Structure 1
Amino acid sequence: MSVTGSTLARRALGRELRRLRTVKGMYQAEAARLAETSPQSIGRIEEGRSTRITSFQINALCDAYAATDDERRILLGLVQEVRAARERGGGWWRSYADQITGDFDHYLALEEAASRLTAWKVAIVPGLLQTPAYRRAIAWAESPELPTDQIERRVEWLARRQRRLEDPSLTVEVLLSEAVLREEVGGPAVLAEQLHRLAELGALPNVSIRVVPFNARSHLGVLVGSCFLMEFPPLPQSKLAEPPIVYVEGYAGDLYLERDAEVEPYRNALAEIGRVALDESKSRRKILAVAKEHRA
């Protein structure tokens, strides 16, 4: 069992517990009292976040929610999946916890678990595709007071994260506004190197990089803002299907959207943006042409 199983099992466990509680018409505070934990812990469990939960607590919640035998069996099985993964250790990024800001470790766990990532970026190259120099320039802009060794730690964990691109079970589709190719992060030489890297990565069989040019017809991308759609494989043991999740990164906080009514508008917007994007061949030529401009 891997950390992938842990992440998806936690989500499935939380989603099912939230459904049962809602059907019962019970508040989180009451559920917490019956499970001998805090309302905050119940909230974290239902959100699929990393937190301790025992079989005793699951049984207590099943009793309170009047769960069926099958529902109880599934929940207890999910707890076992989470526990087995935890005993094998956390994700690789835990060793870089001092360099991961906010709640981004939750995103990393989801990214590691995903089987398909679709991204739309309006200004900055997504982290999975960044060069060390490009990432270094962003890190200095974000935290100019940090010492060099901490900046280099951030660059190091980014490189570790990018190994996921070598996994053929992951499909990555990236849609970039032409503005991303023009924003001189780190200066023209750094950006030119980054654009050449994009051209290289776009040649990978599991990676698609396409550009939406400035002269593209009107599209939802100008309204939606940068976002990621993450899709997941079935759980390794229970084989339960995992619904997709949309990640919206904000300067002051992040959003994780997983309800159908929240995900579908983003899925439709990404499809619309994809319709006005250049194809992969034309995108590569566009990227290299702009890189040449920056080199000059």
Structure 2
Amino acid sequence: MTQVSTEQTQTNNVPLGILLMIGATVVFALQDGISRHLAGTYNTYMVVMVRYWFFAAFVVFLATRAPGGIRATAKTDQLGLQIFRGALLVAEICVAVYGFTILGLIESQAVFISYPLLVAALSGPVLGESVGWRRWSAIGVGLIGVLVILQPGMGVFNPAAVIPFFSALMFAVYGLLTRYAARKDTTATSFFWTGIAGAVCMTVVGIWFWEPMVGSDWLWMALLCVSGVAGHWLLIKCYEMAEASAVQPFAYFHLIWTAILGIAVFSEVIRTNVAIGAGIIIAAGLFTLWRERAKG
């Protein structure tokens, strides 16, 4: 889930931006692995709830240090939109983590990386942006890659295989709503409400699923919380340093680190159709990013 919209002035230091993006993908892959471990033992809602408590504390800390404090950071004329964004993201995280426990890291991430194509497809109806035939062609090719991974019609189709695709669709809508909100609100405001709204929504649901956690798993939970904050910080710095079009292609490193983690720690295997499908999706996604940069 390596996409953040920012409004800060950029220095356009592309090499440093690339290093920060790759660092963020390493952290997010680690976060995925810890999430799979914890959600495999404890309830997904509880795991995400505790993670969001820490996230909310982080955004409040940032707001207190910002000019004008929390009052200025939280001020928005789009409160309903901001709350819906936060609720949508936390729901997407729950779906994604659940997918890790059902399908594993590799296959989940191989399908999830289709989200930039879904953003491109939905940018027309949601934001009114123009989507030309080249981008539509890339979107179609990328969805073929998803079908290669899911293999519908090949024997018994596992309905659970659509979980990461549904997660990608939710994240794409979240990304588009973030762009829409940025027309009036600053990045700091959107980031603040992402954490606060998500924490409130998740607490309302997750508190009913509380389970006792052993001491060693609390250490993993602490690492999960810290990695979430660290990943967002790296992304914010990344987009401050360089243009999004220059660094976004390196977000696909997330799949590489996830695959390494899945194989080394969870004894997962990369099926041939997953490798081929992921390659098709990445190629289509890179073409779409190139078209956006060319148009820009």
TM-score by length of 2: 0.29
TM-score by length of 1: 0.29
Higher relative helix content? 2
Higher relative strand content? 1
